[in-house]
Amino acid sequence: MRFILRRLAFYLVAFLVAATFNFLIPRLMPGNPADVMLAQAQGTIPPEAREALMETFGFINEPLYLQYLKYLGSIFTWDFGLSVKYYPTPVFDLLARALPWTLFLTGTATLLAYALGTLFGIRAAWRRGSGFDSFMSPLALALQSIPPVVIAITAMFLFSVSLNWLPAGYAFDPSLEPSLSGPFLSSVFFHALMPVLSLSIVLVGGYLITMRNNMIGQLGEDYVHLAEAKGLSDARVRYNYAARNAFLPSITAFAISLGSVFGGSLITEVVFNYPGLGNLLYMGVIARDFPLIQGQLLIMTLAMLSANFAVDIAYVALDPRLRRA
């Protein structure tokens, strides 16, 4: 329990440091959300409204430490302010609407890529030097080196433009009302098929190489040779002995990937016009929507820290040596 409390305190401090940078960076940059809105309005908003807009977005005429204390109070109550681009919609509402789409798209792609990459990596390591290993390992390295935007655009050109098999973008057919009906869910699955597969192709190579290298390191250990000498089956030695210990470093990469899910896949979501957090962040950056950017970055930071905390707990649960330590 002391270990968990120490790690929890560490990640709380890390979150406060990240939130502090999130507070300072927009205030050190030239301009502010009120000036952006006045410029975009092209004279339709009177200059007298500038002070009211400044106060609305938290840029008040008070000492910086008072602004910081109010900022901390707002983030711990999940009040991220109002969006500049989508004014007067609260940032929290925008993030809440985009989050389910990102969790579905990026979460599905990450789970699929991790499952395939791990299984292929175990097999490639167990049969290292075989035809399967000679084909899969260079392919995984090649997939890692291809930019995600190239894979996304190629998939769109091939399956949407040339073959006209899959829709080119968005999350569902706009003519359908969101519901739990069969036609709507089928449309969601149909529209997500190409983005999910594109993102899985981007991720699967890294998981395969990581698991293969971890597995090869374990296959040379004495306990694996002892298990083979005892006459245990190949499957049992492969999964119950070697793969079980090779999973530990792989779990770290997987947890970090799950943490980045909350940031969305900006490239994939923008290319396919998918209404997730990545696309929302892109629109916020283009519009210089500081409250939206700050809210999104805080969500990403919290997700990454939570994922790392979960890894710490998982390591203690999976490795008896750490429990004894």
Q: What are the structure tokens assigned to 254, written together?
A: 């997987």
Q: What is the pLDDT of residue 118?
A: 87
Any domain includes 263: yes
pLDDT in tens, the chain (325 residues): 677 778 788 888 888 888 888 778 766 766 666 666 666 666 666 666 666 666 666 666 667 777 788 778 877 788 777 787 777 788 888 888 888 888 888 888 888 888 898 888 888 888 887 888 888 888 888 888 888 888 888 888 888 888 888 887 787 877 777 777 878 888 888 888 888 888 888 888 888 888 888 888 877 777 777 777 887 777 787 777 777 777 777 777 777 777 666 655 778 888 888 888 888 888 887 777 778 888 888 888 887 888 778 777 777 666 666 555 5
How many whole angstroms separate alpha carbon 139 and alpha carbon 141? 5
* Residue 30, number of CB atoms within 10 A of its CB: 5
Proportion of the chain in helix, strand, coil states, percent, rounded to 5: 75, 0, 25
We report the CATH number of the domain holding residue 159 as: 1.10.3720.10
Give the number of domains in the chain. Answer: 1
Any domain includes 199: yes
Q: What is the pLDDT of residue 217?
A: 80
Q: What are the structure tokens assigned to 212, written together?
A: 């293969």
Task: Evaluate the omega torsion of the peptide bond into residue 88 and state whether it is cis, within 30 degrees of 0.
Answer: yes
Q: What are the structure tokens assigned to 108, written together?
A: 């599905």
Full domain range(s) for residue 171: 97-288
Instruction: Work out the burial of residue 135: count CB atoms within 10 Å of its CB; fewer than 13 is exposed, 13-18 middle, 19 or more buried.
Output: exposed
Rg of the chain over Cα atoms, rounded to whole angstroms, equals 24
Residue 150 near residue 199 (C-beta atoms within 8 A): no
CB under 8 A, 24+ apart: contacts of 89-95? 91/291, 91/292, 91/294, 91/295, 92/295, 94/280, 94/292, 95/277, 95/280, 95/295, 95/296, 95/299
Angular region, 138: left φ>0, alpha ψ -120 to 50, beta rest:
alpha
- In order of 243, 248, 308, the CA distances from 253 in angstroms are 15, 9, 10
Q: What is the pLDDT of residue 71?
A: 79
Any domain includes 160: yes
Residue 289 near residue 83 (C-beta atoms within 8 A): yes
The DSSP element (H or E) to which 10 belongs, if any, is helix 2-28
Q: What is the pLDDT of residue 304?
A: 80
How many whole angstroms separate alpha carbon 121 and alpha carbon 110? 16
Q: What is the pLDDT of residue 49?
A: 66
Q: What is the pLDDT of residue 250?
A: 76
First-last CA distance in the chain: 13
How many whole angstroms separate alpha carbon 275 and alpha carbon 266? 10
